[in-house]
Structure 1
Amino acid sequence: MRTLKSIFLSTSLLTVSLLAATACKDSALLEVAPRSQGDSQTALTTAEGFDAAVNGIYDRLQSVVLYGRDMLAVSEALGDNAQFTNKSGRLSGENRNLINNTFGTATSGGATWQTAYFAINQANLVLDNIGNVTFSDTSQRNRLQGQAYFLRALLYHDLSRIYSYDPGVAVPSQDRGGVPLLTAGVADQSKITFPARATVADVYKQIYSDLQNAIRLFSRSNPSAPAYGNLQAAQALFSRVALYNKDYATAVQYATSAIGGSIKLSPNASYIGGWRAPQNPESLFEVQFIVAENIGVNTSLQTSYTTLVRTGDRTATGGFGDLVPTTAFINDLEAEKSSTGAVLDIRRQLYELGTIGRGTAFIECTKFLGKNGTINLDNVPVIRVSELYLNRAEANYNLGNTTDALTDLNVIRQRCGLTAATLTGSAILTEIYRQERLEYGFEGHRWFDLKRTGQNVVKATAQGGGLAYTDNRILAPIPVNELSTNRNIVQNFGY
């Protein structure tokens, strides 16, 4: 993914609650990935080594079980935006919300948990050791340290929203707490611990601390955005985390700070084109890929969402189009029309009829379409500017600032070609939720947005009928390997 060397932490069962995956008895080793051909002795003793170590964390994010696919596609499958086509069989169990068909569990034995904690451990090792090395360029040290804090915060928030109830909406009789917090690196057997699950409040306290540290360390300029963590991205992530935490004043504060940054909302005329560019101009942070890191025709986002190779060409079939928009989702995009019957919402242009090369043609999402010029190779936006306006709108509504909430809501509506809404009361929140659904469609937000607001998941019978919020399947199960090696971990209710 990166031009710098990539460093990986090779671990085994000995890293237990963090990284349990096999029954191997080898101790943890810090080693440079073969492709980097670097000297492992320089790993965490030089500025170059820390560059490589931080890049290794970004490489982890590329995994299919994280931002290579699952954080987006599995979230959409679990929620109510999408329906499975069964063209390859992939994502059908997740879309029907079958037991044990969720993040990293159906086919990979808990690989989402494992991979996220691998990456967290890499961040911990960077943070543990970076103070011991002299950097000729203090700004480089700050940048690398800030990125480690930023990435650890992102990963802990992702783990929390997958495996734990979100603040304020727990089902008390089923609540087993948050996820284990490990903030010291495991580099050898002597560092192994067996932590229990922290409280959700403590997990959020740690995430807040990491983001505050990242913001303190990042410079005001964003030369590394969006390929690396940066100030505007850290502020934006803080607004998201605070919104989940029902800490609405903080969500407003950091959304406002991030909106003031250098990356701005795309205007109406260039919004669709931004999705065709190699790097989305609205991205504050995105996981980027080079050609050698192509995920391929089985599990890339492109193949998961569409059969098309390029827009407007139904003669060439590429992927499988395993997960496509429901009729209800498309109808919602088409709900507002001009006096002549034309669809007003420009986001509808990101969904078009696929090919018949894999069977029946469906309307498919084309947000991910080989933007790097190679089929199945996409840079993946994790945080976009539009989220800031909707975060702030929702937070302001909950603070009683309905005028401000409506103003931000209308920024997004008008950018998308819709007229300004004149709403009052709860209708404002309903429209904020609707715009969140349409704006982030197939970007991995919908399942988590339903979950953090305590809403039922409503689906057609063919998709399993959905889930009541009190259903235990709202939370993913803790991986069995983790339970067998760390007896202090308590499994989620119902598994």
Structure 2
Amino acid sequence: MKNTYKWFLFMSLWIFTACDSLLDIDPEFTQDAENFFNTEEDFDRAIIGVYDMMQPAYLNIWIGEIASDNSIAGGESVNDTRGLHEIGSMTHGGVNEELRAVMRVNYTGIARANYIFENQDKLDFDGKELILAEARFLRAYFYFNLVKYFGDMPLIVDRRISINEIASTPRTPKAQVYAQIETDLRSAIAGLPPTVSVTGRLTSGAGKALLGKVLLYQGKYPEAATVLGELIDNNQGGYALFSDYSTLFYANNQNVAEDVFTIQFSGLQGGDYGCLICLNGNAAVGFHGIRLYNGPLYADGNSYNLPTQDLYDSFADGDIRRDATALNLDEFIAAQPNSEDITYAIGGGGHTGFFNNKYIKRLDERGLPDDDLTSPLNYRVIRWADVLLMAAEAFQRTGNDGRARTELNKVRSRVSMPAINSSGDALLQAILEERRFELSGEGYRFFDLVRTGQAASKISGFVTGKHEVFPIPQVEIDLAGGVWSQNPGY
């Protein structure tokens, strides 16, 4: 949903205030609960505040691609967002601004959701159960992000904690965190509708899709097959693959039947580089743009998150997803009638010749100045193609190769690629490869490689037993009085 209540107080332990990542902790329990949650409007504003913390999706797009074999950090120089360059070279450690931002924004979202549950009994009204279902979904989403990145994490449910409790709040084993995620999602699914009238509000289909992904990440393949198979077979949300993959990621093709779970953005409110968290626009899009570009279709940007030659070459001949995913800029320019008049610059942070063509700034999709930061292009957290491929994997891993091929070939048929007829491990590998062809540029690749045990063979510099998770930010360990141990190898 479009988030209009940007003034809503954070009410969290971790307060993410600016891109300098300084921790600014308000006095303990500054907002008196007695002065809030007295009206239905208060609850509605509170849930909007929880939705709002999904907007730093650019972090997932960047890190999920740059940490993998799909892209390099790029940018103006190697000192321009140094943390991304360290992640790209697998030299990241406990001092990393981007990883700290991941931890802080997700815990802020959790704290906002918990604040609602802490006060859920203050008022009864029609629609409260829906708000609680949304809060459970969102809390599950934030915790899922945290365990993917960091493994064991402190589990705090249904309440905020005071500053004085930090040092006595240890990291919770990720199995327990996953159990809470599953509990929240199953409860949310029961309370969410299959369709909504307000674009961007959560649905039961989105809950089932996220639950299926959570189960898949844990290796619970029979359960994942059940959840995802039921979602596909019943399909109360009316989900379907969009017909034209080449334009799927254009702004005028947003909120279509392929969109299962999206984060909504607006180009109508500006911001600045001093606080990317304050934006209503999708910051990734401008950052992915072509540096000092002057030509047709695209607008200039900051040349971040640049696809690799390896990704480009991985696509089969005739697969339209290659060019829809990785823009070959020189080839594109050469095909224009005025190619000699088109110019661009190369950043000092690296250049591959390719740009992320899914989340990139286009001339007719710019928001208000600074239009680097105000793109209206939504982030698709889960789309229907992902659901089909997750289901294909879950079915194959539980011995149902026939159903696995059915779901896999739906995705391939959309882009006129030949059907896969293999079985066994060959079929599984085809499904995993298809995830790269279909979903590259969207922030999934690193986590897919880790969960399927392929990271060490695909990612240069990856150390088994270390890089499956990222380091806990050292400053957060220090703020917790050293009660949190660092992840192995860091």
| Alignment TM-score, normalising by the size of structure 1 | 0.81
Asked whether 1:123 is paired with 2:113, we answer yes
Shift of 1:83: 2.5
> How far, CA to CA, are the matches of 2:387 and 2:297 in structure 1?
39
Shift of 1:149: 0.2
Partner amino acid, structure 1, of 2:266 = I
Asked whether 1:329 is paired with 2:328, we answer no
Partner of 2:215: 242
Please state whether the residue corresponding to 1:76 is helix, strand or coil: helix
Partner amino acid, structure 2, of 1:362 = G
> How far, CA to CA, are the matches of 2:366 and 2:92 in structure 1?
38
Shift of 1:5: 6.7
Please state whether the residue corresponding to 2:467 is helix, strand or coil: helix
CA contact under 8 A between 2:209 and 2:382: conserved in structure 1? yes
**Residue 305 (structure 1) aligned to one of 281, 285, 288:** 288
Partner amino acid, structure 1, of 2:41 = E
Partner amino acid, structure 2, of 1:28 = F
Partner of 2:8: 7
Alignment of 1:216-227 (within 5 A): 216-225=190-199, 227=200
Partner amino acid, structure 1, of 2:68 = G
Structure 1 regions of 5+ residues with no counterpart? 32-39, 165-177, 338-342
> How far, CA to CA, are the matches of 1:13 and 1:185 in structure 2?
14
CA contact under 8 A between 1:303 and 1:320: conserved in structure 2? yes
CA contact under 8 A between 1:263 and 1:284: conserved in structure 2? no
Taking structure 1 as reference, are residues 491 and 9 closer, same or farther at Cα in structure 2, changes over 3 Å only? same
Partner of 2:141: 154
Shift of 1:131: 2.8
What is the RMSD of the two structures over their aligned residues, measured on CA atoms? 3.1
Partner amino acid, structure 1, of 2:172 = A
Shift of 1:204: 1.1
CA contact under 8 A between 1:352 and 1:365: conserved in structure 2? yes
1:327-366 CA-partner distances (Å, limit 9, x unpaired): 1211122x2x3xxxxx133453343233752226722122
Alignment of 1:437-448 (within 5 A): 437-448=436-447
Structure 2 regions of 5+ residues with no counterpart? 277-282, 330-341
| Alignment TM-score, normalising by the size of structure 2 | 0.82
Asked whether 1:288 is paired with 2:226, we answer no
Partner of 1:466: 461
> How far, CA to CA, are the matches of 1:14 and 1:419 in structure 2?
50
Partner amino acid, structure 2, of 1:80 = D
Which stretch shows the higher mean deviation, 121-130 or 185-194?
Answer: 185-194
Taking structure 1 as reference, are residues 309 and 297 closer, same or farther at Cα in structure 2, changes over 3 Å only? farther
> How far, CA to CA, are the matches of 2:120 and 2:217 in structure 1?
31
> How far, CA to CA, are the matches of 2:194 and 2:310 in structure 1?
43
Asked whether 1:478 is paired with 2:472, we answer yes
Please state whether the residue corresponding to 2:9 is helix, strand or coil: strand
Aligned pairs, number: 445
Taking structure 1 as reference, are residues 180 and 27 closer, same or farther at Cα in structure 2, changes over 3 Å only? same
Shift of 1:291: 2.8
Please state whether the residue corresponding to 1:466 is helix, strand or coil: coil
> How far, CA to CA, are the matches of 1:482 and 1:160 in structure 2?
16
Asked whether 1:58 is paired with 2:51, we answer yes
> How far, CA to CA, are the matches of 1:369 and 1:283 in structure 2?
19
Taking structure 1 as reference, are residues 41 and 28 closer, same or farther at Cα in structure 2, changes over 3 Å only? closer
Percent pairwise identity: 25
Shift of 1:163: 0.4
> How far, CA to CA, are the matches of 1:331 and 1:456 in structure 2?
19
Taking structure 1 as reference, are residues 315 and 11 closer, same or farther at Cα in structure 2, changes over 3 Å only? closer
Partner of 1:113: 103
Shift of 1:154: 0.5
Alignment of 1:308-319 (within 5 A): 313-314=295-296, 317-319=299-301
CA contact under 8 A between 2:11 and 2:115: conserved in structure 1? no
Asked whether 1:256 is paired with 2:256, we answer no
Partner amino acid, structure 2, of 1:326 = T
Which stretch shows the higher mean deviation, 4-13 or 90-99?
Answer: 4-13
Asked whether 1:75 is paired with 2:76, we answer no
